[in-house]
Amino acid sequence: YESIQNDVVSEEIEAMIHNHQCIDKTKRKTGLDIWMTFLGFFFDVNYPITMRIMKNQGYYRLPFDRIRFRRAQKQVDSILSEIENYIARNS
């Protein structure tokens, strides 16, 4: 986890999240970008019940709650907030 703790989310990947787009894997530059790909899957969910199940299980938060990011904590928190707002509007 140490290398991830020091990573940041690249601007392009962060923009994809805030624009509610699935992550283009060819645009990833950091290890944390790869983790963001998992969150981008929410933007491809088509059924509210699926969204509710994913929200209630909460697995999407586990890797992010286990680590204190040294350089990107505010960035990660902002992205998680965006995801949770998206979930609330679409479930």
For helices 73-90 and 48-57, the axis angle rounded to 10 degrees is 140
The number of angstroms, rounded, from the C-alpha of 65 to the middle of its chain's C-alpha atoms is 12
Q: pLDDT of 8-28, one tens digit each?
A: 999 999 999 999 999 999 999
- Res 3 pLDDT > 90: no
Q: pLDDT of 26-85, one tens digit each?
A: 999 999 999 999 999 999 999 999 999 999 999 999 999 999 999 999 999 999 999 999
